[in-house]
């Protein structure tokens, strides 16, 4: 009798083990209980991304993205003082677990500094990194390792990264790191690189500061015209360096340009930068699969542009047209001559679109030619936009690896860092 009961208990425990081994990827694999411990968190933020972007990208790609199978829930994005957040307030909630006002960087509405998930990870002996295709001092990366009342104070944000001992910093924004700060970084043990090829020699570095442009990095559509690395190359290097710490790491990796594409209402820019972000996600997931102690969490901070799937009165989508676009609207506008007499030729060269005379007139008369070009491309692809600013819709949450079940359902953006801290068994307590 006792043997039969013991056998039943063993079977039940085995079933439970399999159930808990099913992460957000929906694939079962038998994992020992000890392997469920989360040492590393890779937090990936496709800035400005929403379900409409996800759907359009699936159509653009022609099949499911790697993220589709990892979908676990949604999160609410409102800030402390608005139903529509900006990146500073959204990022603060996602880094600290506390709502703040638009424009504030990891400070409460009454001006108190808020402890971040990155700082909590460092206190636990882990390494930490920030990767972005914007300036590395821009709102989203800034919230994880700095505290300022205004996101515009990027020159004040940069030195705080060194004060908080962020081990890996990769992105744009060289203008915010004067020689004095770069010299301090060298003294603090950072290897400093300014071009893509510099990453080749940085693999064995303990600390790395990569500043690949004066301001924001190039859109993925335009990157081939620069000496900048891709997001996946920066991701690979960050993971390589941070994983040297046996106590683990926390890293935030942002696809910043998705948001900028939304502000520009540029659908091709958006799709190409989602593609670049997906490649970085694939690299992160591959790392997590091999490591078995890594949690990957993906969540946009807010929607941008109010993108639609289909539009302009047609029950259709023609996203495949965007695969022929070879430059952003911003870049195309720089190729127009002074009297804009070459509009047809430029648009044809970079989009394969033969403009109608009315479209040429509209672009020529526009005060911002790039926006007019983007409107033409959007209309041809049947991608609608409601604004060139943020909206307040709920945002998809994706997760992979041990702890992914913590992010299921409709949660708040403030829940994200709290649940990461729980997964890593570290303390994210404000005021301490």
Three-state secondary-structure class, residue 365: helix
DSSP codes of every residue in 83-98: SS--HHHHHHHHHHS-
DSSP codes of every residue in 216-229: SPPPTTTGGGSSPP
The beta-strand segments (E) located in 329-405 are 390-391, 395-400
Cα atoms found within 13 Å of the Cα of residue 153, Cβ hemisphere only: 14
| Distance, first Cα to last Cα, the chain | 54
Three-state secondary-structure class, residue 309: coil
Considering the candidates 50, 65, 79, 87, report the single residue annotated as catalytic.
Answer: 87
DSSP codes of every residue in 113-136: B---HHHHHHHTT-EEEEEEEEET
The answer to whether residue 87 is catalytic is: yes
Residue/partner pairs of 152-155 with CB below 8 Å, 24 or more apart: 152/103, 153/105
Q: Which residues pair with 73 in a beta bridge?
A: 397, 409
Cα radius of gyration rounded to whole Å, the chain: 23
- Can you tell me the distance from the alpha carbon of 22 to that of 34, in angstroms, rounded to the nearest whole number? 15
- Any idea which residue has 């990827």 for tokens? 25
Tokens linked to 130: 């920030």
Write out the catalytic residue numbers: 87
């Amino acid at each position: 009798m006792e043997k039969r009961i013991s056998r039943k208990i063993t079977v039940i425990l085995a079933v439970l083990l399999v159930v808990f081994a099913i992460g957000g990827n929906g694939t079962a694999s038998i994992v020992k209980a000890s392997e469920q411990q989360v040492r590393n968190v890779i937090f990936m933020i496709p800035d400005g991304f929403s379900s409409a972007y996800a759907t359009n990208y699936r159509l653009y790609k022609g099949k499911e993205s790697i993220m589709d199978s990892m979908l676990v829930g949604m999160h609410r994005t409102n800030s402390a003082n608005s139903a529509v957040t900006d990146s500073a307030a959204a990022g603060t909630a996602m880094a600290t677990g506390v709502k703040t006002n638009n424009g504030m960087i990891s400070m409460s509405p009454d001006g108190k500094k808020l402890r971040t998930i990155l700082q909590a990870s460092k206190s636990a002996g882990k390494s930490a990194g920030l990767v972005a295709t914007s300036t590395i001092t821009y709102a989203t990366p800034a919230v994880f390792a700095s505290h300022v009342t205004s996101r515009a104070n990027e020159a004040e944000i940069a030195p705080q990264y060194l004060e908080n001992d962020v081990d890996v910093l990769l992105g744009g924004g060289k203008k915010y790191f004067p020689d004095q700060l770069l010299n301090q970084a060298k003294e603090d043990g950072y290897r400093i690189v300014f071009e893509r090829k510099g990453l080749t020699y940085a693999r064995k570095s303990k600390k790395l500061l990569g500043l690949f442009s004066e301001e924001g990095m190039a859109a993925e559509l335009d990157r081939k015209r620069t000496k900048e690395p891709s997001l996946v190359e920066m991701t690979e290097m960050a993971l390589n360096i941070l994983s040297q710490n046996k106590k683990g790491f926390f890293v935030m990796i942002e696809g910043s340009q998705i948001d900028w594409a939304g502000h520009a209402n540029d659908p091709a820019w958006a799709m190409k930068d989602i593609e670049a972000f997906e490649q970085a996600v694939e690299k992160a997931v591959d790392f997590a699969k091999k490591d078995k102690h890594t949690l990957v969490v993906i969540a946009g901070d807010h929607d941008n542009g109010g993108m639609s799937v289909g539009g302009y009165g047609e029950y259709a989508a023609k996203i495949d047209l965007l695969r022929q676009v070879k430059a952003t609207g911003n870049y195309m506008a720089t190729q127009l001559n002074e009297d804009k007499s070459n509009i047809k030729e430029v648009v044809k060269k970079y989009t394969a679109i033969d403009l109608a005379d009315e479209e040429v007139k509209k672009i020529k008369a526009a005060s911002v030619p790039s926006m007019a070009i983007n409107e033409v491309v959007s209309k041809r692809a049947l991608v609608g936009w409601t604004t060139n600013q943020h909206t307040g819709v709920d945002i998809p949450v994706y997760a992979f690896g041990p702890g992914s079940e913590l992010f299921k359902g409709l949660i708040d953006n403030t829940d994200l860092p709290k649940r990461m801290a729980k997964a890593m068994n570290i303390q994210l307590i404000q005021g301490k």
